[in-house]
Amino acid sequence: MTDRLITHLRHVDLAVPDLARQQDFYTGAWGLTTEHSDTGIAFLAAEGSPEQYVVRLRQAADKRIDLIAFGAATPADVDTLAARLATAGVQLVREPGVLDTPGGGYGFRFFDSEGRTVEVSADVAIRTHRTVEAGESIPVRLSHVVVNAADPEGTRAFYERHLGFRLSDTLMHPRMGQMMWFLRINSWHHSMAIARGPHPSLHHASFELRGIDEYMRGTGRLLRAGVEKIWGPGRHLAGNNTFSYFLDPHGNTVEYTTELELIDEDTWHPHLYDFTRPEVSDQWGTANAMNEFVASRSFNDVDKGLFVAPPV
């Protein structure tokens, strides 16, 4: 396992056929703010986050994950990581250099083991942000991203070996074996997770709200607006975070959460949880049952962007 040069999750970038509809959902019902926009592209910020944006939307013929972006502490760390990846045979799709996205900075891009585009950057300008007030049911930050993987063991090994991620917990099924791995890059229980799926795709993107009250208010607002709920509200055992999963207009699963666990990395020992136990999926017992319908709604469409770098 390599030493850590990545510090945190920055943003997830999605390409969609109907940009206007997608942007309307994320800035309306979901509660993000359009911070920057251009022809065919929109950068959406979370009010409580110092990141320039937490979601980028791009108009495209095909739905795909454009990229998942992480932060590094310094440009020197960016260069070091890029050199390590290139030496290990990882395909770089953009050499380290100055970024032309909002906030600037210095970064590079590469393909992970299944062909997702990943960006690592440093020196991105801090966005002017604010404290989300009591009762405001809008995202504070992007909490984590979960991907479906056809080769989850290989994908997990890639992120641990090359990027310094560490295992926090694993979900398993008595007949199907290990099914989901929660990976951390800092003291948050997970910034990324990898799910065993039929094909590589986005499983879900999760957004942290201020607290339980704001999380429930947001969940209720989406239900009243007729947004399709997949699963929740409830509280997971792994990560101890709350969950309400919904579908965006293009069928991507997005989650409202709060109270994701902060762990002591020096003393933490990963658990292996059997998610057929009801309290593993939902400690509260308030969510609809985790069943094949819920699982299949998170499989998503086959990602058409594998090993194809986004144009911007």
The whole-number mean pLDDT for each consecutive block of 10 residues of the chain, a chain of 312 residues, reads 87 98 98 93 98 98 97 98 98 98 97 98 97 98 98 98 98 96 98 97 98 98 97 98 98 98 97 96 94 86 95 94
- Residue 252's pLDDT is 97
- Residue 292's pLDDT is 82
Q: Is the peptide bond before 233 cis (omega within 30 degrees of 0)?
A: yes
Q: Are 215 and 31 in contact (CB under 8 A)?
A: no
Give the CATH architecture of domain 6-122: Roll (3.10)
Cα(233)–Cα(254) distance, integer angstroms? 13
- Residue 2's pLDDT is 62
Q: Are 251 and 205 in contact (CB under 8 A)?
A: no
Q: Is 185 left (phi over 0), alpha (psi -120 to 50) or beta?
A: alpha
Give the CATH architecture of domain 141-297: Roll (3.10)
Q: What is the DSSP letter of 216?
A: H
- CB atoms under 10 Å from CB of 178, counted, come to 14
Task: Specify the domain boundaries for CATH 3.10.180.10 within the chain.
Answer: 6-122, 141-297
The sheet with strand 55-59 has its strands ordered as: 33-38, 41-45, 55-59, 6-16, 64-72, 117-122, 106-111, 92-98
At residue 144, the 3 state secondary structure works out as strand
Q: Cα separations (Å) of 243 from 136, 239, 251, 309?
A: 17, 11, 18, 32
Q: Are 167 and 183 in contact (CB under 8 A)?
A: yes
